[in-house]
């Protein structure tokens, strides 16, 4: 295994240990096949990127909203292009929605898993 693979796995572990409150809440609804019996993993390396919540079987990533600083926006754009080229669909959720409209967020993810959510 290359050193970069070790670094990416270590980074994913650090991200899992330092999740935000919104990530923890979202994970509580996705973990343990709680949503449509689909298996989700969190902070998974995919190519050169780490994705927040991933359902490999449905080729779906659930991600927080894009960032606001120019460098982060460019990174998000590259990441989105890469993931879509690999056949992944991406659902973006806002932290505020996770806190205030959790059931709606879970319903939206369910629609995406079923292929009923239009691509953004």
Domain that holds residue 50: 3-113
118 within a domain of the structure (yes/no) = no
Instruction: Write out the E strands in the chain.
Output: 41-46, 49-55, 60-64, 89-93
Q: How far apart are CA 28 and CA 75, in angstroms?
A: 27
**pLDDT score recorded for residue 66:** 58
pLDDT mean by block of 10 residues, the chain; 120 residues: 62 64 92 93 89 94 75 85 96 94 96 86
31 within a domain of the structure (yes/no) = yes
- For the entire predicted model, the pTM comes to 0.81
83 within a domain of the structure (yes/no) = yes
């Amino acid at each position: 295994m290359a050193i970069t693979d070790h670094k990416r796995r270590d980074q994913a572990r650090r991200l899992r240990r330092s999740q935000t409150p919104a990530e923890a809440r979202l994970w509580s609804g996705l973990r343990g096949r709680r949503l449509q019996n689909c298996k989700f993993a969190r902070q998974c390396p995919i190519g050169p990127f780490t994705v927040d919540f991933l359902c490999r079987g449905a080729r779906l990533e659930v991600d927080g909203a894009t960032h606001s600083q120019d460098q982060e926006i460019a990174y998000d754009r590259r990441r989105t292009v890469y993931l879509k080229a690999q056949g992944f669909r991406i659902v973006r959720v806002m932290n505020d929605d996770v806190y205030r409209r959790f059931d709606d967020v879970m319903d939206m993810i369910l629609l995406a898993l079923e292929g009923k959510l239009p691509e953004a």
